Amino acid sequence: MTPAALRHLSESDRILAGVIRRVGPCSLTPQRRRSPYEALVRAVSYQQLNGKAAQTILRRVCDLYPGRPFPTPRELVDTPEERLRGAGLSRAKTRAVKDIAEKTLQGVVPDRRTISRMRDGEIVERLTEVRGVGVWTVEMLLIFTLGRKDVLPATDYGVRKGFALTYGKQDLPAPLEILEYGERWRPHRSTAAWYLWRSLELPQ
């Protein structure tokens, strides 16, 4: 993220400025070469699991397709549910990733070129038609795959916990409270969210 983003956030929010000083430069690097299809399958695989467990399951899924780093949408559609379940995906996640693949073949999940021309709201509206893909999942794609600069995932547990820690809240704030406060961070709310996540790693 640019120095202009850090300057804006520091000037508009003296408390967040302290977090920025302690964390240092923002190292958020979007995986822009990753297709929306792959990003969504990965995101769904990681839902409600810690990173190591999700990595293991996703590796087992990919191992079902020798010679490829990641299955194509057609391959995933054609794979029996039992094989994906055997790799560790739950029933709900199996159905979700197969629907992502099917919706990719149908054009509901756009390719990289098409999605790059879409507005954030359009992307959320389009992709939440897919089974197992909610607003949070699309927000992760917007930030970590597409590199969109002004996304604030206010329902994310880490963002809520980081906000509570940074601003001295006893309880987790409601998403609406974060969204209202975060208006001062526009148009760099993705960077602000990244610093809230990092705040949880700072020594207290």
CATH topology of domain 3-29+151-199: Endonuclease Iii, domain 2 (1.10.1670)
Running DSSP on this structure, what letter comes out for residue 30? -
Active site residue 156: yes
Superfamily of domain 36-144: Hypothetical protein; domain 2 (1.10.340.30)
| Under 8 Å between Cβ of 8 and 123 | no
What's the pLDDT score for residue 162? Answer: 97
pLDDT number for residue 1: 61
Q: Token pair of 63, please?
A: 């191992």
- CATH 1.10.1670.40 region(s) of the chain? 3-29+151-199
Q: How many CB atoms lie within 10 A of CB 12?
A: 15
Give me the pLDDT at residue 19, please.
97
Q: Catalytic pick from 63, 99, 111, 156?
A: 156
- Structure tokens that stand for 85 in this block: 């379940």
What is the C-alpha separation between 101 and 75, in angstroms, rounded?
9
Residue 175's Cβ-count burial label (10 Å; 0-12, 13-18, 19+) is middle
Task: Chunk the chain into consecutive blocks of 10 residues (it has 204) and report each block's average pLDDT, rounded to whole numbers.
Answer: 89 97 94 94 83 88 94 97 95 96 96 96 96 94 96 95 96 97 98 96 87
Helix intervals (H) in 107-185: 112-116, 120-127, 135-144, 157-166, 175-181
Tokens encoding 161: 């916990």
Would you state the pLDDT for residue 163? Answer: 98
In the chain, CATH 1.10.340.30 covers: 36-144
